[in-house]
């Protein structure tokens, strides 16, 4: 495989990006945040980042 997918959002990313294996600092932070949530089991329904399974269909106008 020549391309890799972001561990957070699944978007194809280049190997030489600074944020590899994530497509962006945002996704890197999101992954870390989720890891921390799992590690500390913080009961929270609010997440600072959208779900990777949720397509961004909501326009910000």
Report yes or no: 3 and 13 within 8 Å, Cβ to Cβ: yes
CB of 37 to Zn ion, least distance (A): 17
- From residue 2 to residue 41, the character string flagging contacts with Zn ion as x (rule: CB under 5 A) and all else as - is ----x-xx-x-----------x---x--------------
Size of the site for Zn ion (CB under 5 A): 6
Our separate counts of H helices and E strands in the chain read 1, 2
Closest CA to 50 of 42, 40, 60: 60
Give the residues lining the site for Zn ion (CB under 5 A).
6, 8-9, 11, 23, 27
């Amino acid at each position: 495989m020549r391309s890799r997918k972001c561990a957070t959002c699944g978007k194809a990313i280049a190997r030489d990006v600074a944020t590899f294996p994530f497509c962006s600092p945002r996704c890197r932070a999101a992954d870390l945040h989720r890891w921390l949530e799992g590690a500390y089991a913080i009961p929270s329904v609010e997440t600072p980042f959208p779900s990777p399974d949720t397509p961004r269909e909501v326009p910000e106008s």
